[in-house]
């Protein structure tokens, strides 16, 4: 992997408690698109099955993050293409197939474990540590199909889904958005296809959930409201001026 794989190591599963936070653009998050935000509020995690911090996120933090989302905010995952290789593309296709399964959680964990080892999602697992000898079980599509077969998806079914036009379209979108949203490290969270969270400035899960909720449901709504109020104030001032001219 030639790209930087990062996570705010200070994220801690602290108890949720009320607090007020001022989120600053350019510090806690950056705007990565000038387009209108997605029609419905959502958060997308860009990740890699090869990233041990992503495995830690999946096992240790995502359940709490999802639980902390406001009602109506959807959660999605997309696989990055940092490897730019045949096996990297096959692993991306695996996630696309997982999205159509009713066992997404189990299959996601199984793919992480096959690539990193079953203990990869416990704490900050270091594959470069002395004595670490795990070899990835995933070196070809056949290896991936062997993982899916354990969950009732046979090889023929897997091939049909992995090679479908829908899967090709998904991979093209993921690659396009990876570039457009400037995703250079994983895991990364992008909210409403417009704002990317800076995890290095986030200290608690509560703060992360609050930031995602703010970006998903409040930020653009507040700006739209501010704009509407601004026009209303201008209109009132114009009417008042007209009234004064009549009285003179």
> Distance between CA atoms of 220 and 237, rounded to whole angstroms?
26
- Residue 112's pLDDT is what? 97
Residues in the chain: 248
User: 84 pLDDT exceeds 90?
Assistant: yes
Of 225 and 159, more confident: 159
How much is the mean pLDDT over the chain? 84
> Following DSSP, what letter does each residue of 121-147 receive, concatenated?
GTTT--TTSTT-----S-SSHHHHHHH
pLDDT tens, 104-129?
Answer: 999 999 999 999 998 877 654 455 55
Which percentage of the chain shows pLDDT scores above 90? 71
Q: Are 75 and 66 in contact (CB under 8 A)?
A: yes
Q: How confident is the model at residue 197 (pLDDT cuts 50, 70, 90)?
A: very high
pLDDT band at 239 (very low <50, low <70, confident <90, very high): low
Cβ-based neighbours of 164, under 8 Å, separated by 6 or more: none
pLDDT band, very low/low/confident/very high, at 15 (cuts 50, 70, 90): very low
For residue 248, what are its two tokens? Answer: 């003179």
Residue in 160, 43, 151, 147 with CA at minimum distance from that of residue 101: 151
Residue 222 φ/ψ, nearest 5 degrees: -65, -40
Q: Percent of the chain, pLDDT > 70? A: 75
pLDDT tens-digit series, residues 207-237: 999 999 999 999 998 666 555 445 444 445 5
pLDDT in tens, 68-82: 999 999 999 999 999
| pLDDT at residue 89 is higher than 70 | yes
pTM recorded for the entire structure: 0.81
Of 69, 64, 50, nearest in space to 11 by CA? 64
| pLDDT given at position 66 | 95
| Per-residue tokens: 7 | 């996570």
Angstrom distances, CA of residue 210 to CA of 73, 126, 141: 12, 30, 39
β strands within the chain, DSSP E:
4-5, 29-31, 42-47, 74-79, 185-186, 188-191, 195-197
CA-angle at 141, arms to 137 and 146, nearest 5°? 60
pLDDT exceeds cutoff 90 at 152? yes
Given a cut of 50, is residue 2 above it in pLDDT? no
CA dist 242 → 40, 235, 237, 247 (Å): 42, 11, 9, 9
């Amino acid at each position: 992997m030639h790209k930087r794989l990062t996570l705010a190591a200070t994220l801690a599963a602290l108890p949720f408690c009320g607090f007020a936070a001022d989120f600053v653009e350019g510090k806690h998050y950056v705007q990565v698109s000038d387009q209108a935000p997605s029609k419905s509020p959502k958060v997308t995690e860009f990740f890699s099955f090869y990233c041990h911090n992503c495995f830690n996120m999946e096992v240790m933090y995502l359940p709490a993050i999802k639980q902390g989302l406001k009602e109506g905010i959807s959660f999605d995952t997309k696989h990055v293409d940092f490897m730019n290789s045949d096996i990297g593309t096959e692993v991306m296709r695996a996630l696309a197939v997982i999205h159509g399964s009713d066992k997404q959680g189990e299959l996601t964990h199984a793919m992480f474990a096959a690539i990193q080892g079953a203990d990869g999602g416990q704490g900050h697992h270091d594959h470069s540590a002395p004595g670490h000898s795990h070899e990835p079980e995933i070196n070809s599509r056949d290896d991936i199909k062997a993982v899916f077969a354990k969950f009732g998806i046979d090889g023929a079914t897997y091939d049909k889904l992995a090679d479908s036009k829908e899967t090709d379209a998904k991979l093209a979108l993921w690659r396009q958005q990876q570039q457009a949203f400037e995703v250079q490290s994983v895991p990364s969270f992008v909210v409403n296809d417009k704002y990317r969270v800076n995890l290095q400035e986030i200290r608690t899960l509560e703060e992360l959930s609050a930031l995602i909720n703010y970006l998903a449901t409040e930020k653009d709504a507040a700006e739209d409201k501010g704009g509407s109020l601004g026009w209303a104030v201008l209109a009132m001032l114009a009417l008042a001026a007209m009234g004064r001219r009549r009285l003179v």
